[in-house]
Structure 1
Amino acid sequence: METGKKGIALLEKGIDVSTGEVEKISQRGYNEDLLPKTEDQRSMSWKNYFTLWMGSVHNIPNYAAVGGFLFLGLSPANIMFALVLSSLVVAGLMILNGKAGAKYGIPFSMHLRSTYGTLGAKLPGFLRGIVAAIAWFGLQNYTASLALLILIGKFWPGFLTLGGNFNFFGIGLPGLIAFTIFWGINVLIGLGGGKVLNKFTAILNPLIYVVFIGMTVWAINAAGGFGNILAYRPNLEGVTTYSPILVYLMIINSVVAVWAAPSSSVADFTQNTKSMKDQVFGQGLGLFIGYVIFAVSSVSILIGGSIYYGVEEWNVLNIVNNWGNLPAVILCIIVLLMTTISTNATGNIVPAAYQLSALFPKKINYKKGVLIAGVISYVIMPWKLMENQESIYTFLNMIGAVIGPVVGVMLAQYYFVAKQKINLDDLYMDEENNKSNNAYYGVNKAAYIATIIALVVSISGEFISSLKMVSSLSFIIGCGLSFAIYLLLKLKK
């Protein structure tokens, strides 16, 4: 009778895995990082998710993206609204795709396996967890290291001239030192895992309110009032403009594309939730409030700074660097660096480490995965990618086009084909005694067909100029198309 009550309580909390089941699975050779999390191993409450995503919204690349949105033809007020609307779409994806991890305690690699099969999961897992994650990890580190360079220069101006004409494959000695320092900090945070990240974001969250609200107040005053910010229009001469509805979709697609990788691998975080309510409420509230603040602050700071300095300035670092108040500059840059660390850990280094562990479960655990991913992110020299902006966006659009179809198939499989049920005993099969009748064995051909067709369509604009707009909506098109094709292939049987 007592066991029955406990079972009901577990299901009500969204936890559908027993300790005995996990012990049975662990005997099959899976390392600890891949095993389902039981109730007593889960530590993330709604507050943890709230602070986790709040810290990931305010980062340097996101501010740069808003600078680009201002040239799409919408008014500042409409851009703010589009950003908030985008947050609801992102929150929906995170919550829906996070449910399997929350219910069964499984990480993304096993969630992916339940969709694509034991062999089939390797390619989408490699693309998301290795290619996209490691490349983004390096790029985020380099972008933030430019802020660190400014910070060091404020205390030690001579640092900016160290090395003279020294050049390491396109980067000077000061830049290389700043990149190495920031890269090392990110790797250390990654090694700490979820517990360190939770403490880090708990400290970061109140600082975000203080700094970005303070920056917004400064910007509004600098612009002569909020009305001047709302009335501002950038110089659009020679810039292609689109219909308002299309611009809304482009902004939503861009924001969702930024979160495409975390939304696909969100099970790595929801597997640690204390209850289903915690992950739903925490993620939804964190993303919504985070983007409300971000929408107002980003638009206000960029426009306010442009009005104040008399030039269109869309780099938030340049605006902060021009301030005459040294303590304010230092505080703002430190918080920008911290938010980038938060984003890098949640969206890049953690998924990369788990995927390496999944690809080589008997040789690589989570911490080894962090170190390997960190080294690769350094060796690829991300500053070289920054030399050609067009190639960067082409690369990122292609990665986003891959992840969109993967998310679409994952949602279709879990909610409409599997009907929110996963057989853990079959999913964690004995690799030495595979059974051909196991539903998760091999390759889910329908998933591959849907993914590949959607991928080809969503990246077509990169190669066919007349279809360029398709690439601007790559995630939306890729995710929606793969979802529909997969259901058509599976449900017609």
Structure 2
Amino acid sequence: MAFNITEKLKVPETEGSSKATRWINRDIAPLKVSRRTWNTWTYLGFWNTGNFTAASYSGGSSLVSLGLSIPSTVGVLMIAKVFTVIAAVLNGWVGAKFHIGYTVGQRQVFGVFGSALGISMRIILGVVWYGSNAWMGGLCLGTILSTIFPTFQNMKNTFPEGVNMTTKELVGFLLYQLLCMVLLRIRPEKVAIPIAVSAGYNFFVMLAIVIWARVHAGTIGPLVHTTTTASGSELAWIWLYGITSTFGGIVTGIANQSDFTRFSIKRTDPILGTFLGLWFFSTLVPVIGIITTSCLQSTYGEQYWNPIYVVQLWLATDYSAKSRAAGFFASLGFTIAQIGNSVVENGIPGGMDLAGCFPEYINIFRGSIIIALLSWIVCPWTFYNTSSTFVTVMGSFSVFMTPLIGILICDFWIVRKRKIKLADLYHGESSGAYYFTYGCNFRALAAWTVAFTLNLPGMIHNITPSIKIGSGMYNYFRGNLFFGLAISVSVYYVLCRIWPIEEAGILDECDHFGTWTTEESQVLGIIPYEQVKGTPDDFCNKVTFDRDSEVSEIIVSVDQK
């Protein structure tokens, strides 16, 4: 038999499973009950993997730099997180109910071929933020090595000044990337306990640092006493921009919430965990960062917004056994948090997106490894060591993602009334409910285009201030969270009223994939999988699935009655 390289490259079959096709493999199929392992505590731990990182710790710095006082900064954070929680819960409900991820959900909204738009944006963001988190993770891991090995702490930099990184930083980054690539092998349903434990550990690390800073300084410091420099309407727009930018900092995680809610044991499990993690702790951690920075400013005359720099300060000023031990346990916590952020919040979702693009050849593990490798291309060290326009561009990417979230929510909650035909998400036949026109839903494309286009002038000015625009257009950009959502939802809804979507609000007649228990199927009003198993091909909507194992293979009946 001739050697066929394409066959060798295909996703390997698991024992007793069907082959993956161009539309489906084990990792993007609706999850069966045995793989749904996340409960309320898991979701609390999941959000806290992002909360207890250096990025979240320094979240208050950008708001303070806008000219807001500390009370105003806390107020902006609390209000922004309310909108964040609401958007995350609404957007994640489709995953909790139908157990499909963001990738497949894009087919539902933009069409089986038009879904490439939303998937491509998520892949790009996944690569960038994976690289950013990996660089910060490398600094954290390097700090651990510095606490153990004096030679590493005093390692000589062999790079010229123009490289924008040191030898020690590169070593930490490389080791961190290799460590994450090993951990990417862990399947999402297996991370529930590790992320909950790591979140608890990192919470106490944060508390220990702020307590130390307060005791060490003997004062709360000058930063907390700063006053708001703006007034009148400009202050209102700064508040609006602060809320928008805070929302934008996590917009990618909100957009792909269904990637994680699909693992929920019960439909309501993500709600409380999301509220506590995304509102309470997500607000608390930046406050800890503000207090710590203020205390240290009174002692050292500088603002240390990055907690790993605080640990490095310990080592630089006192390399005693006591200081090294404290530095080790603190940097261990930050390293674990970065790993959780890189693997769970960036690597796995990116792997799912690539798996959705090429199901025959890419699964979650292969896709996440590709994301990790591509993250080198964006040169993440420039994000932290130079004034990078690229960072400003990526920070403004919410103008594209926020309208997308609005359309996703409108489509599922209003247009489809929380009902989806799962079977039609996994084939590209023109008779399918998500084929629309040439495989694209031009209603969604039009609504998204209108919403983000209005923000482009303000985005361009934000990136290049020398390009002047009217104050109205810039203020529209500063409030793009509210304007982008309102425009995208309104335009999409109106277009769906004028040009109704066929089969909107219709469920499958039966459970093709073994997604629900018998009781859940009865609540939904569909025939349970156990009753469908073994029936003729045309029993249920002329489509059946080989679902005896964990991988589905679509079989479309030739006879289109």
TM-score normalised per structure 2: 0.76
- What are the equivalent positions in structure 2 for 1:90-489 lying under 5 Å apart? 90-128=84-122, 130-159=123-152, 162=155, 164-166=157-159, 170-224=164-218, 231-233=224-226, 243-323=234-314, 324=318, 325-429=323-427, 431=428, 434-436=429-431, 438-441=433-436, 442-464=439-461, 465-466=468-469, 467-489=473-495
Contact kept? 1:261, 1:347, Cα under 8 Å? no
Tell me how far apart the structure 2 counterparts of residues 390 and 314 of structure 1 sit (CA, whole Å). 18
- The alignment partner of 1:389 has SS state of coil
C-alpha spacing 1:374/1:39, structure 2 compared with 1 (3 Å)? same
Please state how far the C-alpha of 1:35 moved relative to its aligned partner: 0.7
256-265 or 182-191, larger mean C-alpha shift: 182-191
Superposed displacement of residue 241, structure 1: 11
314-323 or 353-362: bigger deviation: 314-323
The question of 1:32 aligning with 2:26 is answered yes
Structure 2 stretches lacking a partner, 5+ long: 1-16, 462-467, 500-561
Quote the offset at 1:225 in angstroms.
Answer: 5.0
C-alpha separation in 1, matches of 2:476 and 2:137:
30
Instruction: For 1:141, give the aligned amino acid.
Output: A
The answer to whether the 8 Å contact 1:77/1:230 transfers is no
> Is the aligned partner of 1:89 residue 2:83?
yes
Q: Note if contact 1:264-1:407 (Cα within 8 Å) is conserved in structure 2.
A: yes
Aligned mate of 1:491, from 494, 497, 515: 497
- 1: CA distance between counterparts of 2:156 and 2:386? 25
Q: CA deviation at 1:317?
A: 3.0
CA distance in 2, matches of 1:376, 1:260: 21
Asked if the contact 2:85–2:275 (Cα under 8 Å) also holds between the matched residues in 1, the reply is yes
CA 406–300 in structure 1, closer or farther in 2 if over 3 Å, else same: same
| Amino acid aligned to 2:430 | K
| Deviation per residue, 1:314-343 (Å, 9 max, x gap) | 333333322343322222222122222222
Query: Could you tell me whether the CA contact under 8 Å between 2:189 and 2:263 is conserved in 1?
Result: no
Whole-Å separation in 1 of the counterparts to 2:32 and 2:380: 39
* 1:223 to 1:180, Cα distance in 2 relative to 1, 3 A: same
Question: How many Å separate the matches in 1 of 2:21 and 2:364?
Answer: 19
Matched position secondary structure for 1:152? helix
**For residue 483 of structure 2, what is the amino acid of its counterpart?**
I
Q: Secondary structure at the match of 1:463?
A: helix
Q: Deviation of residue 461 (structure 1)?
A: 1.3
1:61 pairs with 44, 55, 62, which one? 55
Conserved 8 A contact 1:67-1:302: no
Shift in alpha-carbon separation, 1:326–1:81, aligned structure 2, 3 A: farther
Counterparts in 2 of 1:468 and 1:367: CA distance versus 1, 3 Å: same
Q: Percent identity?
A: 21
Q: 1:81 to 1:492 in 2, by over 3 A?
A: same
Query: CA 1:346–1:91 in 2, change beyond 3 Å: closer, same or farther?
Result: farther
Distance of 2:190 and 2:326 partners within structure 1: 27
Inter-partner Cα distance in structure 2 for 1:150 and 1:98? 36
Deviates more, 1:262-271 or 1:87-96: 87-96
CA contact (8 A) 1:73 1:242 kept: no
The structural deviation recorded for 1:480 is: 2.9
Shift of 1:387: 4.9
CA distance in 1, matches of 2:66, 2:164: 32
Displacement of 1:76 in angstroms is 1.4
CA distance 1:79–1:220, shift in 2 (3 Å): farther
Aligned residue for 1:5? none
**AA aligned opposite 1:112:** Q
Q: Secondary structure at the match of 2:305?
A: coil
Amino acid in structure 1 at the alignment position of 2:493: L
Deviates more, 1:336-345 or 1:387-396: 387-396
The residue identity in structure 1 corresponding to 2:262 is Q
Q: Does structure 2 conserve the Cα–Cα contact (< 8 Å) formed by 1:222 and 1:307?
A: no
Q: Deviations over 1:412-468 (max 9, x none)?
A: 111111111101122223x4xx12463444111011111112122223213243344
Paired AA for residue 210 in structure 1: F
Question: Hey, what's the Cα distance between the residues in 1 that align with 2:103 and 2:49?
Answer: 24
1:293, CA displacement in angstroms? 2.6
Contact kept? 1:25, 1:428, Cα under 8 Å? no
Render the CA deviation track for 1:50-99: whole Å, top value 9, x for unaligned: 11112211211233332222222222122223222322221111111010
Change (3 A) 1:457 1:189: farther
Moved more, 441-450 or 396-405: 396-405
In 2: Cα distance, 1:241 partner to 1:148 partner: 46
DSSP-derived class of the 1:31 partner: coil
Asked if structure 2 preserves the Cα contact closer than 8 Å seen for 1:458 and 1:470, the reply is yes
Q: 1:463 to 1:205 in 2, by over 3 A?
A: closer
Question: Residue 443 of structure 1 aligns to which amino acid in structure 2?
Answer: C
Q: Aligned equivalents of 2:170 and 2:406: distance in 1?
A: 39
Q: Which runs of no fewer than 5 residues in structure 1 stay unpaired?
A: 1-22
Whole-Å separation in 1 of the counterparts to 2:367 and 2:448 = 27
| Distance apart, 1:368 and its partner CA | 1.0
Aligned residues between the structures: 464
Structure number with greater Rg is: 2
Q: Quickly say closer, same or farther: Cα 1:348–1:296, change in 2 above 3 A.
A: same
2: CA distance, partners of 1:191 / 1:469: 45
Matched residue type, 1:212 = M
